[in-house]
Amino acid sequence: MVPSAYDLVDQTVYDRWMRIDRNNITNEPNINYGLATGSDYFSFVQLVGSSNINARYTFDPAIHGNTGSYPLYHTSYEVFSMVKKFIDPDFTAHRTMGQFMGVLMLLLSETPVLQLNVTRYTSALRQAMNNLKINDSTILNPLRSAIDDFDKTAQDFVRRSKSMGTENPYIIRAYNDQLLQLERAFLNPLGQDSDHTDFKTIETTNSKLTII
């Protein structure tokens, strides 16, 4: 739907995404779960517990290596002239991402039932658990059981949504409200401990502690 930057006229952002970063298991563009604790997302993820997205064009690690970000990030040289000269001279990628986010917001605002899939949360939780480096995997049994319980509830929620009466605005509102409140169900208002009271999302990982 949205033309891809730096590609042929008939190529879309979706086409490029599938070509560059395809999830071969689900046969869809790969989506990284979680925005962690970066300054741009902190208040939304850790304090409010809202559903968020970060979409961007980035460098090719095959060419530039896995640097994490471009070298001038958050320096005094990160100014308009730098972007114009080195990053995106014609602002092609900027325009594309503006169009992409605009279409996404339009779809979310114009679709009566929010197109959010709660079962993806199960995948994110299991992925985070499997990334933990521990010697005794049995320690994770309570967590594994909790994720399995969440999975069953999420699957049931999806099944019920398919038989939902979409002609009743109150039913739709209740369903959408449940979707929007899901992120907040993972908030601990007291924070993680006395040293991390601002880290309220219990499935987040940061440099000082690991939380799932």
Give residue-wise pLDDT tens across range 83-139.
999 889 999 999 999 999 999 999 999 989 898 889 988 988 888 888 888 888 889
45-67: average pLDDT? 82
Cβ-proximal residues to 85 (8 Å cutoff; 6+ apart), any chain: none
SS3 assignment, position 12: strand
Residue 42 lies in a domain: yes
d(CA 47, CA 41): 10
Share of the chain above pLDDT 90, in %: 33
pLDDT in tens, 43-53: 888 888 888 88
Which value, to the nearest 10 degrees, does the dihedral of the CA atoms of residues 36, 156, 106, 203 take? -10
pLDDT in tens, 133-174: 888 888 999 999 999 999 999 999 999 888 888 889 999 999
pLDDT of 206: 52
In the predicted model, what is the mean pLDDT of the chain?
85
Residue 94 lies in a domain: yes
pLDDT of 141: 93
pLDDT of 204: 60
Say yes or no: 154 and 78 in one domain.
no
Residue 39 lies in a domain: yes
What is the number of structural domains in the chain? 2
On the question of pLDDT at 190 being above 90, the answer is no
CB 42 within 8 A of CB 33: no
pLDDT of 44: 84
3-class DSSP string for 18-80: HHHCEECCCCEECCCCCCCCCCCCHHHHHHHCCCCCCCCCCCCHHHHCCCCCCCCCCCCCCCH
Share of the chain above pLDDT 70, in %: 95
Residue 208 lies in a domain: no
Say yes or no: 106 and 27 in one domain.
yes
On the question of pLDDT at 210 being above 70, the answer is no
In 3D space, the residue among 174, 127, 125 whose CA is nearest the CA of residue 150 turns out to be 125
pLDDT of 130: 87
Amino acid identity of residue 18, one-letter, is M
Say yes or no: 170 and 143 in one domain.
yes
In 3D space, the residue among 9, 8, 73 whose CA is nearest the CA of residue 40 turns out to be 73
Residue range(s) defining the domain that contains residue 26: 13-110
Say yes or no: 124 and 105 in one domain.
no
Other Cβ atoms less than 10 A from the Cβ of 49: the count is 18
In 3D space, the residue among 146, 138, 177 whose CA is nearest the CA of residue 161 turns out to be 177
- Angle (nearest 5°) at CA 193 between 187 and 194: 125
d(CA 102, CA 98): 6
pLDDT of 176: 93
On the question of pLDDT at 212 being above 50, the answer is no
Residue 4 lies in a domain: no
Residue 24 lies in a domain: yes
Task: Tell me phi and psi for residue 210, to 5 degrees.
Answer: -115, 125
